[in-house]
Chains A and B, each alone.
Chain A
Amino acid sequence: MADEERVPTVIAHNAHIIYRIHGSVSAAQNSPVSSFKRLVTRTKSAAVREVHAVKGVSFVAYKGEAIGLIGTNGSGKSTLLRAIAGLLPVEPGGAIYAAGQPSLLGVNAALMNDLSGERNVTLGCLAMGMTPAEVKAQVQDIIEFSGINERGDFSSLPMRTYSSGMGARLRFAIAAAKKHDVLLIDEALATGDAKFRKRSEQRVRDLREEAGTVFLVSHSEQSIRDTCERSIWLESGVIKADGPTEDVMKEYESYVKK
């Protein structure tokens, strides 16, 4: 495929992301007296700390690509995903452009735990902008795909009764039900069992064929190898390597083993 024909879906250009964390104070600093002192002396910075999580990342992702993001813990992978989703601001001077509205699918993405799985499916689908008719047509497929009914009728039980794997599977099933221009998956595949992982990897491939772009953050090298042909290796917020998964994986593995 020639370069002109490839349609970019995500463009990151010199993206810096700085976290500002409030209230990250030690117990000693959190006493009423010190809080008062901070208020009086106006040194509020004591409670605000900055973390420079992503430092000048640039890349272009194209339609139909599945890109694996790898790197050691705390290297800025999840932060980058959240910035692509528009949930974190990029510092001035850089920018991230994306097609449509990228959807971030993470393991912490909580739905409403007191509601039944089925009701959560309806709610989640409506929140993604589906019409009630579309939702009605899809609810059963989504529940079936998630496999939560494999051990009895769990879809009518509240989500708080689910195991963590079941919850993650349901969330993935909901997010994967809609065609996304850009789907960002944060470790979601890692929680399911082998059978579900296989199914979800197939779904990721399908989504890609529907001309979307998929970003996958995972510590499972196998699931990255199986689903992504391109990988980006982030280390301390800087891109160390970007290219075919096999090449990047080799570099990454030799780095980790050191």
Chain B
Amino acid sequence: MAQTTVVESYTGPSPQELARKHGLGAAGRLPSLPEYTREIWSYRHFIWEFAGAKVAASLGTTRLGMIWQVLTPLFNAGVYYVIFGVLLNTKHGVNNFIPYLCTGVFIFGYTQSVVQAGVQAISGNLGLIRALHFPRASLPLSITLVEARNMIASMAVLVTIVLVTGEPLTWEWLLLVPALILQTIFNAGFAMLVGRLGSTLHDLRQLIPFIMRVWMYSSAVLYPVTQFTAHLHGWKLALVEANPMLVYIELMRHALMENVTLAGTPMRLWTLAIFWAIVMGIGGYAYFWRGEKGYGRG
């Protein structure tokens, strides 16, 4: 074997020609968007396993383990019940305030936890990113998957609360499935958006809690949406009513509860929900893909 070639003696075609001839790619080349999508599809098992691993790792050291997936939303609802239902006895003119409140808290909590975890999707997994090659979008996607699984447990709790507080079970309940699917697409796009932002903008993690709190107050989570229509006018009202979180929360209330005053007609809400899912889903994905080769550097 010609093992002893010294590079200096190399006189052949130029490096570029040689690379092209043997089909070598430049290290760190960005794949095209369809190529990237195919790659992610072939990594679907990894995404699934990574999501499972994340849950196992986070609950592995607790004594109750997986039971926390149900306990966490239950405690969450309990806190709000004690404060708003027992201590303050808030009604705000809503017939059945507890399920109204819990729906808001749970639906908002879904996106909130995706954002909080998503901002660290890249920066928290640098070891994995530097060691192994896989499409990086797998990370925010599996974070969304983790929260989607948690959300299924939360929904079981929420449905119980809604039924116990006297809401009837109707065919409209089936609408919760498409509503959750749209919100999940929105969340996945959002996780990819903040994932890329968080990979370079480390200060973002400090700001997220404040951003989310402002967002929560403008999404009619803790008080009925009629407060907005009563106090806001013109562009401010239009802005608040286009808020994707408000839309998803209202859709869920529409699906689960009778006699609620919504922020808009169901038609308008569904249109907005689909719009936001598409814009955030595709926008976040494309934005994340553009930065693919930059993750793990620095």
Contact = CB atoms under 8 A, between A and B. Distances in A.
Contacts of A149: none
A203 interface: no
A243 B18 CA distance: 21
A99 B3 contact: no
Interface residues of B, number: 45
Contacts of B26: 95-97
A88 interface: yes
Given A9-B24, A98-B25, A230-B3, A126 B131 contact: no
A60 B5 CA distance: 10
A11 interface: yes
Interface in A91-145: 95-99, 101-106, 108-112, 114-115, 119, 122-124, 126-129, 131-132
B131 A171 contact: yes
Given A87-B130, A87-B296, A111-B128, A60 B56 contact: no
Contacts of A97: 15, 19, 24-27
Contacts of B3: 65, 229-230, 244
Interface stretch (A78-86, A193-201, A214-222, A249-257): A78-86
B47 to A, nearest CB: 9
Interface stretch (B6-14, B67-75, B87-95, B220-228): B6-14
B53 A123 contact: yes
Contacts of B61: 114
B27 A126 contact: no
5 contacts: A8-B22, A82-B130, A85-B133, A96-B27, A239-B7
Interface of B: 1-8, 10, 12, 15-16, 18-19, 22-29, 42-43, 45-46, 49-50, 53, 56-58, 60-61, 127-128, 130-134, 293, 296-298
Given A1-B1, A85-B27, A101-B133, 19 more contacts: A8-B22, A9-B24, A10-B24, A64-B1, A86-B27, A86-B133, A87-B130, A89-B28, A90-B27, A98-B24, A109-B128, A111-B128, A111-B131, A112-B57, A114-B58, A114-B60, A126-B46, A127-B132, A129-B43
